[in-house]
Every structure is written in C-alpha cells, then in structure tokens.
Amino acid sequence: MIKRIAVLTTGGDAPGMNAAIRAVVRCAINNKLEVMGVFRGWWGLINEELKLLDHHSVSGIINLGGTILKTARCPEFQTVEGQNRAYQTLKKNSIDGLVIIGGGGSFRAAHEFYKKYKVPCIGIPASIDNDINGIDVTIGSDTAINTALAAIDNIRDTATSMERIFVVEVMGRESGYIALQVALAGGCEDAIIPERRFDLESICHDIVEGNLRGKISWIIVVAEGAGSAFDIAKKITEMTGLESRPVVLGHIQRGGRPSAFSRTQAATLGEAAVECLLQGESDKAVTIKDGKIILIDLEFAITKKKLDVDSWYNLIRVLT
C-alpha cells in the first residue's frame, strides 16, 4: 500500500511545472498520502536532498515559471552507482512511489530505473519542446510558443518599418515544434526545422522574387537544431544583397508566467498522476487525449515522436 510518495522535476524546466507540483502535493495530501519534494531532479535522489511538503509548501506558486524544486541534467543517474544511491534514498525515506515531471530524457531515466528497481513511477509530461511520443501537448509548450510569438510580433513591427529580413532562432534541438507553431501563428514566411531538409538557395530565390514584387520584409524562423540564425542571416545577406538580421530568443522561451492552458493541463495531470499511483499503475505517463485522461507506457513515450511537419510547413508557405 502506498503511504508516501516523492515528486521531482528534471531536465529543462517548463512553465507549468510549479502548477503540476502544487497539484501533486495537494491531491496526495487529500488522499492521506505524505509527499516529499526532491530537489534538483535525479541529483536530489542520489544526494538525498529532499523534504516533506505540506499544503502550505506549494502556496503562491501556480503563477510562477520555473520550478520551486529546481531541476538539473544529471549524467550521474545514468550510472549504476548513481541509480543504486537513488534507490537507497527511496528506501531510507520509505518512499513507495515517484512522480516525475519532465520531458523525454526524464522519462527515459524513469523507465530504466523502474525496470531495475520496480519502484512505481508515473511521468507527467512537461517540456517546452513537445517531443514526447503519444502526447499531443506537453505542459509548458503552449506558454513557450506564446512567449516566442510575442517576440516575433515585436520583430514584425521593426522588420516592416525598416524593410528587412529577420532570421529568428527558437529553441528545439531535435524538434521543430516550436518553430512551426510560431511561424504559423506569427504569419512568418518560412521555417527551418531539424526534421526537414532546407534549401537556402531556394529561400533566397523566393526572397529576391518577392522583393521584385514589392514584398518588403521577411521573417524566417529557425529551430536551434537546424542551424544558427547568425550563419543563416549572413548567408542570406550575401546571396540576396538584402539586409538580414539574426535574433536568438534562447532561454527567454523557457521562463515566464505559465499560460492558462499550461496551468490547467498541469492541475489535471498532477491529480491524475496521484490517482494512478494509488491504483497501482507504474512505468506510465499521464496525458490528455480527446478531452480524456489516458495512460501511455513510458517505453512508448520515449520512442521518437513523428510530427506531421509537412502539413504545417505547407500551410505556412501557402499563407505567406
């Protein structure tokens, strides 16, 4: 029987993680469970940095980006020694189940840990990249897209006024999700993403043709994993003779006030994760599909997500 659980946030932070922690803690307490908060993700389990949380511990955090539990990337958790130490911490603190709030890398680690030690684990998908398989939208990605979009709207003002080309780099090492969403929502002219080959010559050809027709400004969004805004802007200037400027949005996209959507997702999935542990589920992630909460195997969640990038890309181009 589960009496005490632990919650941790790992990998890159995402807006809405705090709302998820709050939901996990309060739903667990409502179900007469004790909850421990683990600091800095897996690192905190390895180094026994955790503390008991109460209702009040999570007051006033629903509107905050980042994570009050802190987060980290933890290569040590990939070692047998690191995993053993984490397991000892769980035993020593009588923890019967874990809620892991994080992205693909976090789920991979949770799945490996479960396979070895059989500690019940439930994942709550939270990552700005939206790169977890079987999950429509991860907590935080809606906020990150809106943050990037606000920047693009500002850039559009100056791009139009000064008749320039802008290349805007957004986050996404392996995923073009943010780039495509932002390009579509921002009415951008092109998007360069890791999942699709791009041809700079043809982009430049379009720019020059457009310029001859009187099209005065362009915004091209590039996902960080597909290229550098600085390099691409430089090449565009060289190839077209037109003034191009790079902008790198960077970590601005990871922070900030979570959107209503990210918060309600976090509340719903936080509750679901606690319910799942109580029902004896394990090695699963909770998500919302067609308005319903569903469970997916972590093993499936960590396989490569295939986005329908071509449809989005074609629409961006059609609407230009």
**What is the set of active-site residues?**
129
Residue nearest to ligand F6P (CB): 12
Report, in Å, the least distance between residue 242 CB and ligand F6P. Answer: 29
Report, in Å, the least distance between residue 39 CB and ligand F6P. Answer: 17
Which lies closer to ligand F6P via its Cβ, residue 98 or residue 126?
Answer: 126
Q: What angle do CA 19, 276, 80 make, to 5 degrees?
A: 85
Which lies closer to ligand F6P via its Cβ, residue 155 or residue 171?
Answer: 171
User: What are 299-303's contacts with CB under 8 Å, separation 24+?
Assistant: 299/111, 300/133, 300/134, 301/104, 301/107, 301/123, 301/125, 301/132, 301/133, 301/134, 301/135, 302/104, 302/107, 302/108, 302/111, 302/132, 302/133, 303/133
Q: 210 is written with which tokens?
A: 């457009």
Interatomic CA distance for residues 57 and 1, integer angstroms: 25
Interatomic CA distance for residues 97 and 117, integer angstroms: 11
Which lies closer to ligand F6P via its Cβ, residue 69 or residue 128?
Answer: 128
Report, in Å, the least distance between residue 17 CB and ligand F6P. Answer: 11
Which lies closer to ligand F6P via its Cβ, residue 190 or residue 224?
Answer: 224
Interatomic CA distance for residues 41 and 299, integer angstroms: 20
Which lies closer to ligand F6P via its Cβ, residue 5 or residue 302?
Answer: 302
SS3 call for 74:
coil
Chain residues that interact with ligand F6P, rule: CB under 6 A: 12, 73, 127-129, 171-173, 224, 254
Report, in Å, the least distance between residue 170 CB and ligand F6P. Answer: 8
Interatomic CA distance for residues 86 and 206, integer angstroms: 55
Report, in Å, the least distance between residue 175 CB and ligand F6P. Answer: 7
Interatomic CA distance for residues 258 and 268, integer angstroms: 15
